[in-house]
Amino acid sequence: MSREKLRALGIELPLLPTTAVGSFPKPEELQRARAQWARGLISREELERLERRATEFWIRTQEELGIDVLVDGEQYRGDMVTYFAENMRGFEIGGLVRSYGNRYYRKPIIVSEVRWERPITVSWWRFAQRLTTRPVKGMLTGPYTVMDWSFNEYYPDRRATCLALAREIRKEVEALIEAGARIIQIDEPALSVRPSELGLAREAMQIVTEGLPAYFISHACYGAFEKIYPDMLALPVDNFDLEMSNSNLDLLEHFKRVPFTKDLSFGVVDVHSHVIEDVETVLARIRQGLEVVPTEALWIDPDCGLKTRTVEEAIAKLRVIVEAVTRVRAALA
Amino acid sequence: MNLILTNAGSYPRIGDSPELQVLRQTLARFDRGEATEADIRRAEDEMVRRAIAEQIEAGLDVVTDGQIRWYDPISHLAGKLQGTTINGLLRYFDTNFYFRQPVIVGRLVRERPILLEEYRYARSVSSRPVKPVLTGPYTLAVFSLVERGEYRDLERRVEDYATALAAEVAELAAAGAELIQVDEPAIVLEDAAFDLFAAGIRALVEAKGAARLALYISFGDVSTRYARLQELPVDVLGLDFTYSPQLVERIAVEGSAKALGLGLIDGRNTKLEPEAEVAAALERLLPAIRSDVAYLNPSTGLEFLPRDRAFRKLRHLVTIGMRFKS
């Protein structure tokens, strides 16, 4: 059981640990500062000062709300793939591409051999962890997703690209562990894109995590998981963090047929809706989750990163989660 | 053989310079209550004009409106019918793009034209023929969720979507569209029901009047279904060659009774394919086509690329295509 692994790593968590998936909205002053920085109106130092302030705000907010396993909120990132591409060698940052609706991102272009040169997320993880006694997750994007979300002008094929990235991303995981991180989340939202490539994603994750002393979580969202379940359970991580509510908990039906054998971080609020779920709704979702996954194995969080919500909406959604979990814990006690 | 250079659907609605951000910003202002529907419409118009101008500048013979007004390939049509609501996000095939899934909650009925005004506008700002593009009934049906009732049956969904889309096709043809493209990517899915798909296509063909109907299929390998696709009563068959290493040889050997839309230029990667490779494929393919016309186009719409790269792709396509123009 993964709880034993956590204990061995020195981490004790309550039943139904609450967490967040990664990103939080950037406060308005930081959004403005990013725009000003992009136009050369303020210095890098000034921007970083505001990024630190926003990170501190989110750490305090999560503590006050009573979240158990914290995230730094990714206040310093534009996007989950571009950020890593900007900080590794071999990438060129391309122009804007639409991801959905009115949302766009800068899709990186791999133009030469990819190389990890220095720690990317470590100083932010350290900064966040020093602000709190609760565990802060190390947060990375996995090799399969970085491959799938980049144009490739250098490697012969997807496999060569993915495995090269895996070898480099492992160095970032090692650096996080060296700094003291014990819970590390490696996001693979592209996991279900091509079911025939699940073996490649697994092989890449193996390269990233093999033999390393950390509790590994992998987040995935908005895909056709029914096509890769239960095969996805072969991914060498301890916990899958899955978007569930945006798809009416459809996945639970699959977990009823073939048991879910890892810990599950269960998305109980939809991050793409302005509507704040009421506690009853979230309670009902948690109860449905408990029917299918052992209590010891269940974590509770939002479907995905909350960065597309307003600060107020994000906090309100986290508050509902904590309130619902508190009630379930009381009922279980 | 007349080789016509064209686009396969979308074109980026955004670019890096401030004047290319107008639609994004207007939509954001609308969300904050600071812009009106009319403001959005004006911003869309402007981006349609720019998309068309860039396609013409690149050298295309036939352009699209870039599908600038489309939230996504599914909900822009399905969501505008009576009897649907719009649900959460789902990844569009193996792209990095997400669409909103329609939910069928009542009888599917088209209340008013959806694409007609969009087509008219595009035509009014284009010096080259405009090809309207729509997503086909089978693909809409496959990606729709159903809460209850008769529409649990895929055949019923295809039928009613086909009825709605046939009315669209008839109006576009009557408005002067000479070539109408219907995208049916869902037929590449492993468990695709070919007969239902074919029935949907036939319903659209019956409505096409004087227009030519082009069936385009992207995001998968259709080599094994090639012979059956040839039997459909469409005028043009558009194929995505990026998934199908054997497709060029299959067509070279089996021939094509129809005009083909040759998706030889990858619409989803920035890398420009070696000219010699594309030319070699064209040399194999063109003699096998028993039609007086063929189309050279990207494998998919170009919205998967940044704007500057999309333009560069089209220029590349035109450079190669010009060598084969009679």
Q: Which is it for the CA torsion B70, B71, B73, B79, positive or negative?
A: negative
Alpha helices in chain A (DSSP H): 2-8, 28-38, 44-65, 82-87, 122-130, 143-148, 158-179, 198-209, 250-257, 279-292, 311-332
Q: Would the ipTM clear 0.90, i.e. be above it?
A: yes
User: B58: closest CA among B254, B260, B314?
Assistant: B314
Look up the pTM and report it. 0.90
Distance from CA of A104 to the nearest CA of B (A): 9
Please determine, for residue B87, whether its predicted confidence score (pLDDT) is greater than 90: no
A71, A22 contact by CB (below 8 A): yes
User: B31: closest CA among A313, A277, A23, A34?
Assistant: A313
Return the number of other C-beta atoms located less than 10 Å from residue B60's C-beta.
Answer: 24
Q: Which domain holds residue B316?
A: 2-19+56-322
What's residue B208's pLDDT?
98
Q: Which residue of A99, A101, A153 is in closest CB contact with B270?
A: A153
Alpha helices in B151-259 (DSSP H): 154-174, 194-206, 226-230, 247-254
| A35-73 pLDDT, tens digit each | 999 889 999 999 999 999 999 999 999 999 999 999 999
Please determine, for residue A224, whether its predicted confidence score (pLDDT) is greater than 80: no
B23, A101 contact by CB (below 8 A): no
Domain of B193, CATH number, reads: 3.20.20.210
φ, ψ for residue B231, nearest 5 deg: -80, -15
Mean local confidence (pLDDT), A169-182: 98
- What are A189's two structure tokens? 């939202």
The pairing of strands A215-220 and B145-146 is unpaired
Mutate to test the interface with A, among B91, B243, B302 (most CBs of A within 10 A): B91
Which run of H or E residues covers position B29?
Answer: helix B22-31
| B123-160 pLDDT, tens digit each | 999 999 999 999 999 999 999 999 878 999 999 999 99
What's residue A273's pLDDT?
86
Return the number of other C-beta atoms located less than 10 Å from residue A280's C-beta.
Answer: 11
**Cis ω before A230 (30° cut-off from 0):** yes
Residue A29 contacts by C-beta under 8 Å, 6 or more apart in sequence?
A: A50
Count how many domains chain B has. Answer: 1
- Which A residues 71-110 touch B at CB under 8 Å? 94-102, 104, 106-107, 109
Structure confidence at residue A251 as a pLDDT band (50, 70, 90): confident
Out of A302-306, B3-7, B215-219, least confident range: A302-306
- Residue in the structure block whose two tokens are 């090692």: A174
φ, ψ for residue B189, nearest 5 deg: -65, 145
Residue A123 near chain B (CB below 8 Å): no
What's residue B140's pLDDT?
98
B96 and A149 in contact by Cβ < 8 A?
yes
Please determine, for residue B245, whether its predicted confidence score (pLDDT) is greater than 90: no
Q: First CA to last CA across chain B, in angstroms?
A: 7
Distance from CA of A97 to the nearest CA of B (A): 5
B175, B211 contact by CB (below 8 A): no
- What are A123's two structure tokens? 């100083």
Question: How many Å apart are CA A297 and CA A290, to the nearest integer?
Answer: 9
Residue type, A226: E
Secondary structure (3-state) at A250: helix
User: B290: closest CA among B230, B223, B242, B225?
Assistant: B230
Fold of domain A2-24+56-77+120-146+156-332: TIM Barrel (3.20.20)
Q: Which residue of A149, A152, A192 is in closest CB contact with B269?
A: A152
B88 and A222 in contact by Cβ < 8 A?
yes
Residues of B with CB below 8 A from A104's CB? 14, 24
Question: How many Å apart are CA A329 and CA A323, to the nearest integer?
Answer: 10
Distance from CA of A59 to the nearest CA of B (A): 28
B306 and A222 in contact by Cβ < 8 A?
no
Mean local confidence (pLDDT), A128-147: 97
A153 and B28 in contact by Cβ < 8 A?
no
Mean pLDDT of chain B: 96
- Percentage above 90 pLDDT, chain B: 95
| B252-310 pLDDT, tens digit each | 999 999 999 999 999 999 999 999 999 999 999 999 999 999 999 999 999 999 999 99
Cα–chain center distance at A6: 18
Residues of B with CB below 8 A from A151's CB? 269-271
Secondary structure (3-state) at A305: coil
Residue A194 near chain B (CB below 8 Å): yes
- Residue in the structure block whose two tokens are 């309130």: A323
Structure confidence at residue A1 as a pLDDT band (50, 70, 90): low
B97 and A222 in contact by Cβ < 8 A?
no
Residue A94 contacts by C-beta under 8 Å, 6 or more apart in sequence?
A: A106, A107, A108, A109, A151, B270, B306, B309
Distance from CA of A8 to the nearest CA of B (A): 38
* Sheet with A151-152, side-by-side order of all strands: A89-100, A103-115, A151-152
Q: How many helices (H) and strands (E) does chain A have?
A: 11, 9
A193 and B97 in contact by Cβ < 8 A?
no
What's residue B190's pLDDT?
85
User: A113: closest CA among A154, A143, A150?
Assistant: A154
Mutate to test the interface with B, among A93, A151, A161 (most CBs of B within 10 A): A151
B271 and A153 in contact by Cβ < 8 A?
yes
Mean local confidence (pLDDT), A202-213: 98
Please determine, for residue A160, whether its predicted confidence score (pLDDT) is greater than 90: yes
Beta strands in chain B, from DSSP E residues, in sequence order? 2-5, 82-91, 98-109, 133-135, 145-146, 179-183, 212-217, 236-240, 259-265, 293-298
Please determine, for residue B106, whether its predicted confidence score (pLDDT) is greater than 90: yes
Return the number of other C-beta atoms located less than 10 Å from residue B222's C-beta.
Answer: 23
B100, B75 contact by CB (below 8 A): yes
Secondary structure (3-state) at B162: helix
Is B27 among the domain residues?
Answer: no
Mean local confidence (pLDDT), A5-31: 96
B16 and A95 in contact by Cβ < 8 A?
yes
Is B44 among the domain residues?
Answer: no
Mean local confidence (pLDDT), A178-195: 94
φ, ψ for residue B73, nearest 5 deg: -65, -15
B269 and A151 in contact by Cβ < 8 A?
yes
DSSP labels, A117-137: -S-SSHHHHHHHHHT-SS-B-
Map out the domains of chain A as residue ranges.
2-24+56-77+120-146+156-332
Q: Which residue of B12, B90, B96 is in closest CB contact with A99?
A: B96
| B27-81 pLDDT, tens digit each | 999 999 999 999 999 999 999 999 999 999 999 999 999 999 999 999 999 999 9
**What residue of B is the nearest CA neighbor of A157?**
B269
